[in-house]
Amino acid sequence: MISQPLSNPNKLPPKMKVKNRSISILIIICLQYSCSNKVKQKTTQKTKPTNVVVIVMDDMGYGDLSSFGHPTINTPNIDKLANNGQKWTNFYAASSVCSPSRGALLTGRYPIRIGLAGNKERVFFPESKGGLPTEEITIAEMLKKIGYKTGIIGKWHLGHLPKFLPTNQGFDYYYGIPYSNDMDAINWSVERLLGPSNIKFWNVPLMENDSIIERPANQYTITKRYTEKAVEFIKKNKNEPFFLYLPHTMVHTPLFASEKFSKKSLRGLFGDVMSEVDWSVGRVIATLKELKLEKNTLVILTSDNGPWLMMREHGGSPGLLTNGKGTTWEGGMRVPGIFYMPGTIQPGTIQNLGATLDILPTIASFTNAKLPDDRILDGFDLSSVLKEKSSSKREHFFYYRKKELFAVRKGDYKAHFIIQNCYTDNDEKIILKKPLLFNVNIDPSEQYDHSDQHPKVLNKINTLVDNHKKTIAIKTSELDKYATKK
């Protein structure tokens, strides 16, 4: 009897007409409100800004995750991100050492463009007077312009003087150490780095915003405290869009693990430290799930460069790649790349080229932020690969060491023009009369030179180099602004 008035209330018997017409109108209003409310909810869900979490390991090698092949390191939480998100196997850091790599990630520009390519020094030290130039636009500054809350918890290493600190580079909040954890050393030595952990040997400060709150930092609990602060930051900003940059101090040597993780891994102390950072990743993801933010948060995990091989068992592994940190061989700059956002990112293993340079433009695409248009960006937007598994726009990559271009990858092939080891007894730079050419998809270990067989490939790479160099206006090195130790 109620369905009829909804289609034609005028045909009701006279006594029922008024009553049923009122019921009909009420039902129609309720249905309209319900539909309208559902549309509003749907629209709100679609237009709600994407949160961003970028997790960066320090000196983690290509082969240091169980999902990337390590036989005795267990990283179940990171592996879940790789298995349920996208695992990139041809992903590169923009430098093989800390400071230039981090500056490039945050700006989407090669270090040589932003004053982070030195003639002498390669990273910032406690005696450095320079830092990431404040005229550069970081991910934090880009997102802050559109209302994001921004925080960095972890290692900065882009200038420790007040004007270069994160709070002057777009971050609302900073908690961490300003440079590498082996600096401010009491009699620095490899023997001490490889010996028993002792925080008294490393007088590195722990900072909160612009103030030193602990010195030396208790590095036994540093990963645990970073995690607590990260969870606190997410919870505090759960009702507004946020960007959390979480660059861990570990697994840079000296290694420190809390009591809960100490002496647990078959891989020894390095494995203990990896397990604790993996736990940290798990806690961050669990917090996003708990707050129902997981499907609305883009999570990216990578490393700043390859493993510090001179640290022996206390250093990481490049897997099947050649060499490690400090070099332009694959082991120095190819790193794990993991992207995770359930319901948005299509799971799979991606063998296309990608780089930490691509993080800024990709985040801009996910958040509808405006990219800087007054400077050259070296990153590519990877969002179509992440969402649809289309082909990556990145077709090449330049391997710089300081201000010199050592190697170039174009498609399958990588050409070396200069080779040099690092952290060894023989670090002589060799300028090659004839470039080495490797097919790094077939031969990722860079063992078999194909320069004689593929001169046309070399010609194409040379043309690419010529065009690239025309775009480079080398800035004064911030890394070389350095005060000699007294």
In this structure, the answer to whether residues 196 and 220 fall within a common structural domain is yes
486 in a structural domain: no
pLDDT at 483: 78
Of 20-29, 181-190, 219-228, 297-306, minimum mean pLDDT range: 20-29
User: Strand 404-410's sheet: what is its strand order?
Assistant: 396-401, 404-410, 413-419, 430-439
Among residues 70, 157, 248, 252, the one annotated as catalytic is 157
Residue pLDDT, tens place only, 281-293: 999 999 999 999 9
Domain CATH code at residue 157? 3.40.720.10
Q: What is the mean pLDDT of residues 145-161?
A: 98
383 in a structural domain: yes
Q: How far is CA 97 from the centre of its chain?
A: 14
Q: By three-state DSSP, how is residue 92 classified? A: strand
421 in a structural domain: yes
Number of alpha carbons in the 13 Å side-chain half-sphere of residue 231: 17
The question of whether 157 is a catalytic residue gets the answer yes
Tally of structural domains, the chain: 3
Instruction: Provide the residue range defining the domain that includes 206.
Output: 49-393
Provide the residue count of the chain.
486
Rounded to whole angstroms, how far apart are CA atoms 271 and 313? Answer: 10
Domain CATH code at residue 434? 3.30.1120.10
pLDDT at 32: 54
Closest listed residue to residue 248, CA positions, set 225, 232, 267, 270: 225
480 in a structural domain: no
Whether the predicted pLDDT of 297 surpasses 70? yes
H/E stretch holding 149 = strand 149-153
372 in a structural domain: yes
In this structure, the answer to whether residues 317 and 354 fall within a common structural domain is yes
Rounded to whole angstroms, how far apart are CA atoms 223 and 84? Answer: 25
Number of alpha carbons in the 13 Å side-chain half-sphere of residue 304: 30
In this structure, the answer to whether residues 198 and 76 fall within a common structural domain is yes
In this structure, the answer to whether residues 279 and 319 fall within a common structural domain is yes
478 in a structural domain: no
In this structure, the answer to whether residues 382 and 412 fall within a common structural domain is no
Reading the block at residue 251, the tokens are: 């697994």
Beta partners for 92?
Answer: 334, 355
Q: How far is CA 94 from the centre of its chain?
A: 11
* Signed CA dihedral, 402, 404, 406, 407: sign only: positive
Cα angle vertex 236, ends 232, 242, to 5°? 100
In this structure, the answer to whether residues 252 and 369 fall within a common structural domain is yes
pLDDT interval class at 425 (50, 70, 90): confident
In this structure, the answer to whether residues 290 and 372 fall within a common structural domain is yes
Residue pLDDT, tens place only, 5-59: 333 434 444 444 444 555 454 444 444 545 445 444 443 445 789 999 999 999 9
In this structure, the answer to whether residues 374 and 416 fall within a common structural domain is no
CB atoms within 10 A of CB 47: 8
The question of whether 98 is a catalytic residue gets the answer yes
pLDDT interval class at 454 (50, 70, 90): very high
* Residue 274 dihedral angles phi and psi, to the nearest 5°: -60, -40
Rounded to whole angstroms, how far apart are CA atoms 67 and 82? Answer: 7
Burial class of residue 377 in the structure, from the number of CB atoms within 10 Å of its CB (0-12 exposed, 13-18 middle, 19+ buried)? buried
H/E stretch holding 84 = helix 76-84
Per-residue burial over 199-226, b = 16 or more CB atoms within 10 Å of its CB, e = otherwise: bebbebbbbeeeeeeeebbebeebbbbb
pLDDT at 197: 86
In this structure, the answer to whether residues 167 and 316 fall within a common structural domain is yes
Reading the block at residue 361, the tokens are: 């433009």
Among residues 98, 160, 248, 252, the one annotated as catalytic is 98
In this structure, the answer to whether residues 255 and 330 fall within a common structural domain is yes
Give the Å distances, CA to CA, from 320 to 79, 188, 378, 446: 19, 31, 28, 10
212 in a structural domain: yes
Rounded to whole angstroms, how far apart are CA atoms 226 and 153? Answer: 6
In this structure, the answer to whether residues 285 and 261 fall within a common structural domain is yes
DSSP 186: S
In this structure, the answer to whether residues 129 and 210 fall within a common structural domain is yes
249 in a structural domain: yes
